Amino acid sequence: MNSFNKTISSLSDLIENVVQQTIKQYDFDDLSRQQLHYLRVILRLHNPSVSELAAELKLTKPTVTVMIDKLESKGYIKRVKSDADRRSMHLHLAEKGMQVNSILEKGHDRLAETIKLALNETETTILMELLKKLVRNI
């Protein structure tokens, strides 16, 4: 593995550790990494249907439905009938899901602060521009 790959791997591990420590600190150990990802995507899509979520995740509806059932049974999400089309259901974060999101944001804030402390202002600005470019292009 070359130096660049090792650095990316280390950064990925660091981010994962911050997320896992944050989740454990607030007693949400019953969530897998994949379930956390689903919660984040549901929030970002702002109450998607199962079809919209499946399309975003590039998975089949049955696969997504299995995970949605698990998250619903754990109390992290709820299905709500659409006002526009009563046959359609939308996924909303339940209070417990909103708490997880809030906690993850705190973890990300903590990570961002740690990074900012390790860099000077110019380095922080350069890193921000590079990260924005990556997000746009990946």
Question: What are the residue ranges spanned by the domains of the chain?
Answer: 3-137
CA dihedral 108, 51, 80, 71 (to 10 degrees): -50
In the block, which residue shows the tokens 């999400």? 77
Q: Which residues pair with 90 in a beta bridge?
A: 49, 80
Phi and psi at residue 22, in whole multiples of 5°?
-65, -45
Whether residue 21 contacts residue 82, with contact meaning beta carbons closer than 8 Å, is answered with no
CA–CA dist 107, 109 (Å, integer): 5
CA–CA dist 126, 3 (Å, integer): 20
In the block, which residue shows the tokens 């659409």? 82
Q: Which residues pair with 91 in a beta bridge?
A: 79
Q: What's the pLDDT score for residue 88?
A: 81
What is the longest distance spanned by two Cα atoms in the chain? 54
74-128 pLDDT, tens digit per residue, is 999 999 987 777 778 899 999 999 998 888 888 888 888 888 999 999 999 999 9
Measure the CA angle with vertex 110, ends 106 and 112; round to 5°. 115
| Average pLDDT across the chain, whole number | 89
pTM: 0.75
3-137: which CATH architecture? Answer: Orthogonal Bundle (1.10)
